[in-house]
Chains A and B, each alone.
Chain A
Amino acid sequence: MHELYKLASGIFVWIAILGFAAGMIGRLAHLAVTARKKDPVVYQYFSFYYALRSILHWIIPFASTGMRAHPVITVVAFVFHASLIVTPLFAAAHVILVMESWNVSWWHLPDPAADVMTVLVILGCLFFLIRRIVQENVRYLSTPGDFVLIALVAAPFVTGFWTYHQFYGYETAGILHMLSGELMLLCLPFTRLFHMALWPFTRGYAGSEFGALRRSRDW
């Protein structure tokens, strides 16, 4: 157990961070090169102004027609994604760990806020899981990988919540929390979670074509 803790808090952290960074940069660079070779129109038509115009309409809740048509998923998706990104970066325990390790620190969330946001992520995962099962058109699109992905995202938050509240077996949960967090970080560039990095480009390109070339709107 102790050995595993040492690994999870040591070498695995580095593997996860380096894998995440290398994966992100590598995959985006590969796409950029492929676009240059096979899709030169992407560069020709890309317009920062119109890309940003489109991205803004899709990053502000209810700024697009599609979001207004689906208010429930809009609220859930925004709360879920905001909590998912903010909680691990600003949870007090994480900030303290980083400070102890490398002597750098930043602002952190009050504990109750991080706690609530963790629950929101878990509820979000449950919502997406149920939606995948219940809603026919989403069920049709779902692959086993989509369910694994939900579990992958939920795991660090469930175990984090467990550890923080020191429920039964929280020491094991703590190790699982580290391992699952590292696994998720490592998976970000190599699974559908990569949409995190891709969407500004796909949305931005749609915005460019719709705005600069087609003089119309894409929201």
Chain B
Amino acid sequence: MNPKSQKEETNNKNGIYDAGIEKGASRLTPEKIRKVFDALVEAEGGARLKAYTNACVHCGLCSDACHHFLSKDRDPRLSPAGKVKQTVSRILNKKAKLDVDFVKQACETVFTECNLCRRCVIYCPFGIDVAYLMLFVRRGCHQLGVVPQYIQDTAHSHASTFNQMWVRDDEWIDTLQWQEEEARDEIPDLRIPIDKKGSDIFYSLIGPEPKFRAQLIYQMAVIFHMAGADWTVPSAPGWDNSDMCMFTGDMEMTARLKKIHFEAAMDLKAKRIVMGECGHAFRSVYDVGNRTLGWKMPPLPMVHAIEFYAEILREKRIEIPKKFDRPVAFHDPCNIVRGRGLGDEARYVINETCSTFIELTPNREHNFCCGAGGGVINCGPPFKNKRVESNRVKADQLAAARDKGAEVLIAPCHNCHGGLEDIIHHYELGLELKFLGDIIYECMKKE
């Protein structure tokens, strides 16, 4: 399709063409849309949907919580309640006409204008969970078959391969062995134990690590080795803890993904799951997947990498002979700080490993979102410019830290890395971005 005809077909408010939205919407009629949403409300629209939509008094106090709203010149449509007004409120109003354009616009709103970061929940006097409402609409979009193409592709990958990146089973094992081989040049007796039964730790990570960032597997193997950890990774599917399906509204697939992940750990009789530095995967394993499967909590203990790092530092299982000497700032990822209160643990790790720490403002639970989470970055290139422009407030926050001397920004989350890298480049902030593992690997004693 040439660009001209693309433009003609584009009906999105920002003139963005997304094949997943356009093609999906082209198969719909107003009757079908109404039927699907009504059935969804009937089947899954529970007490929370009713309570949240009835309690909201349209006071607008959630607005300032949202980086989209703040970054786009306080566009009222981008306030959390504004997004609810454009989507959920119309769906719940039986008299409102839900045409194809509505679905296209709603899809763009819920998938690309909300990062599900839940910052607004802590600014709404009533604690209304707008992320829950946005996910409800995403679920409807999924049922209608209208989902941005790139994120739907990752959902298909999950469905076909049980990992996010179309990594084949043999490629996964090959990557592990390749990283083990590389690491043995540095540490001759290092192993990446595959399928070792009864280990203390089942290590799981996200699909993009073997695909794009294999050095992170190397680094973690070195950290495990030096800490004397008894760990393993599975050879079969279940190694990937990521989950784009919870963001596309495909809860059936989320359940399958988490089931195979937990089962992989339990089949290997591991004592607990330690996961890599990712936020959305943490949300999926700790908060969403277990619920979807009907478990209040995950079926075996699981910790985020930050908690593991803090543990081995506290127990002095690794040594930091010389601290990282460039000034660092720390980005609190929503899913592990608002989602698990790991702000203190992260700061403990930073203070143990870095000489100068500069706080961002606001921080901890109040930190601004990276702009990438909630599946927004996974909606891919069509929405990239919009995503970066919708996070100007993040750039301002980072620039303030840089002006105080920060040179390195630490973010223990893959999604945050994706979003922050784009912000740093677009706004020419000149910060270097690192994982906590990068810092530990760089500073730890490796003999």
| Chain A residues within CB distance 8 Å of chain B | 31-32, 34-35, 37-39, 41-42, 44-45, 54, 58, 64-66, 69-70, 73, 77, 135-143, 146, 192, 194-195, 198-199, 201-207, 210, 213-219
From residue 252 to 295 of chain B, which have CB atoms closer than 8 A to chain A?
287, 291
Instruction: Please judge, given known A-B contacts A31-B51, A143-B58, A198-B55, whether A217 and B127 are in contact too, CB under 8 Å.
Output: no
Q: A65-B123, A218-B122, A219-B122 are in contact. Are A141 and B47 (CB under 8 A)?
A: no
Q: What residues of B have a CB within 8 angstroms of the CB of A77 in the complex?
A: 125
- Determine if B243 is an interface residue (Cβ-Cβ < 8 Å): no
Taking CB atoms, residues of chain A closer than 8 Å to B54 are 192, 194-195, 198
Residues of A within 8 A of B9 (CB): none
Indicate whether B96 reaches chain A with its CB closer than 8 angstroms. Answer: no
CB atoms of A216 and B337 under 8 A apart: yes
- Cross-chain contact B47 with A202 (CB below 8 angstroms): no
When chains A and B are docked, how far (Å) is the Cα of A202 from the Cα of B343? 25
How distant is the Cα of A141 from the Cα of B125 in the complex, in angstroms? 16
- Taking CB atoms and an 8 Å cut-off, the chain B residues in 313-349 that contact chain A are 337-341, 343
Interface residues of B in 57-97 (CB under 8 A from A): 57-61, 63-65, 69, 74, 76-77, 79, 81-82, 85
A66-B122, A141-B82, A202-B51 as given contacts; A135 in contact with B60, CB under 8 Å: yes
* B126 near A42: Cβ-Cβ < 8 Å: no
A137 touches which one: B50, B76, B338 (CB < 8 A)?
B76
Q: List 18 A-B contacts (CB under 8 A).
A: A34-B47, A42-B48, A44-B296, A45-B296, A66-B65, A66-B124, A70-B64, A137-B60, A137-B79, A140-B85, A194-B54, A199-B127, A202-B51, A203-B125, A206-B129, A214-B340, A215-B341, A218-B127
For the complex with contacts A136-B74, A142-B58, A206-B128, 7 further pairs of A-B residues with Cβ separation under 8 Å are A31-B51, A37-B46, A66-B124, A73-B59, A135-B60, A141-B76, A207-B127
B44 within 8 A of A: yes
A69 to B122 CA separation, bound complex (whole angstroms)? 12
What is the chain B residue whose CB lies nearest that of A41? B291
B79→A141 contact, CB < 8 A: yes
Query: Can you name the residue of chain B whose Cβ is closest to the Cβ of A197?
Result: B55
Query: Is B127 within 8 A of A198, CB to CB?
Result: no
Q: Does B180 contact A (CB under 8 A)?
A: no
Interface of B, secondary structure class, is helix
Tally inter-chain residue pairs, CB-CB below 8 A. 139
Q: Which residue of A lies closest to B129 (CB)?
A: A206
Q: Which residue of the partner chain, among A42, A192, A215, contacts B57 with CB atoms under 8 Å?
A: A192
Q: Given A135-B60, A203-B126, verify A214-B46 contact (CB < 8 Å).
A: no
B34 at the interface (CB under 8 A from A): no
Which chain A residues lie closer than 8 Å to B343 at the CB level?
216
Instruction: Kindly report which residue of chain B lies nearest to residue A32, judged by CB atoms.
Output: B47
Instruction: Report chain A residues within 8 Å CB of B81.
Output: 141
Q: Which chain A residues lie closer than 8 Å to B48 at the CB level? A: 35, 39, 42, 205
Q: Which residue of B lies closest to A142 (CB)?
A: B58
Q: Does B435 contact A (CB under 8 A)?
A: no
B126 contacts across to A, CB distance below 8 A: 195, 198-199, 202-203
Q: Let me know if B28 is at the binding interface, CB within 8 A.
A: no
Inside 8 A of B194's CB, which chain A residues have their CB?
none
Contact among B69, B122, B340 with A217 in the assembled complex (CB-CB below 8 Å): B122
Q: Are A35 and B338 in contact (CB under 8 A)?
A: no
Instruction: Report A62 CB to chain B, min CB distance, Å.
Output: 13
Q: Which chain B residues border A143 with CB–CB below 8 Å?
A: 58
A216 touches B338 (CB 8 A): yes
A38 CB to nearest B CB, Å: 3
Determine if B405 is an interface residue (Cβ-Cβ < 8 Å). Answer: no
* Distance, CA A205 to CA B132, complexed state (A): 13
- Interface size class on chain B is 35 or more
CA distance A64 to B366 in the complex (A): 11
Q: Which residues of B contact A31 (CB under 8 A)?
A: 47, 50-51
A138 with B51, Cβ < 8 A, contacts A65-B122, A206-B129, A217-B122 known: no
Contact of A216 with B365 at beta-carbon distance under 8 Å, contacts A39-B47, A44-B296, A137-B69 already known: yes
Q: Does B190 reach chain A (CB closer than 8 Å)?
A: no
| Complex alpha-carbon distance, A215 and B287, angstroms | 12
**Residues from chain B with Cβ under 8 Å of A58 in the complex:** 125, 127
Q: With an 8 A cutoff between CB atoms, is B52 at the interface? A: yes
- The docked-state distance in angstroms from the alpha carbon of A211 to that of B340 is 9
Query: B339 contacts which chain A residues (CB < 8 A)?
Result: 214, 216
- Contact assessment for A217 and B365 in the assembled complex, using a CB-CB cutoff below 8 Å: yes
**Docked CA distance A214–B337 (Å):** 8
Chain B: CB-nearest residue to A35: B47
Quote the shortest CB–CB distance from B195 to chain A (angstroms): 32
Top 4 nearest A-B pairs by Cβ distance?
A206-B127, A38-B46, A140-B76, A215-B341
What is the distance, in angstroms, from B29's C-beta to the closest C-beta of chain A?
28
Cβ A137 vs Cβ B125 within 8 A: no
A45 to B288, CA, bound (A): 13
Closest chain A CB from B198 CB (angstroms): 29
In the complex, which residues 338-369 of chain B have their Cβ closer than 8 Å to any Cβ of chain A? 338-341, 343, 365-366
Shortest Cβ distance from B103 into chain A, in angstroms? 21
Alpha-carbon distance between A108 and B46 when the two chains are bound, in angstroms: 42
Least Cβ distance of B67 to chain A in Å?
15
Chain A hits for B291, CB < 8 A: 41
Which residues of chain B are within 8 angstroms of A136 by Cβ–Cβ distance?
74, 76
Whether A216 touches B55, Cβ cut-off 8 Å, given contacts A38-B45, A66-B122, A137-B63, is no
